[in-house]
Amino acid sequence: MSSLTIYVQMLDEGTPVYRPVSAEKLGDSRFRILSECDHDEVWQFETGSIVIGEPQELSIGTKIVAVRIAEN
């Protein structure tokens, strides 16, 4: 299994903030989040979630951002 970096929105930050996380590519635009969330952070999606990732323009360039839970 190889992992890559995607971005997950952090909640309760006041402004949009994205955390780089390790994820496993499952095919097409589906990813499983592998990173563990720090206790003082609230992520939009939990560790182990299978999400849809889409390219989005962030302040650091175009990155894959988890946008929703993948349907089965």
Residue 28: which residues within 8 A CB-CB, separation 6 or more?
none
Structure tokens at 10: 């952090």
Place of tokens 């988890």: 66
| Structural domains in the chain (count) | 1
Place of tokens 């206790």: 39
Please determine, for residue 21, whether its predicted confidence score (pLDDT) is greater than 70. Answer: yes
What is the pTM (predicted TM-score) of this model?
0.92
Which pLDDT score is estimated for 1? 67
pLDDT in tens, 51-72: 999 999 999 999 999 999 998 7
Q: How many CB atoms lie within 10 A of CB 66?
A: 27
Residue that wins the pLDDT comparison between 51 and 39: 51
How confident is residue 39, by pLDDT bands cut at 50, 70 and 90?
confident
Q: Supply the range of the domain harboring residue 21.
A: 3-69
Please determine, for residue 37, whether its predicted confidence score (pLDDT) is greater than 80. Answer: yes
| CA separation for the pair 25, 39 (Å, rounded) | 25
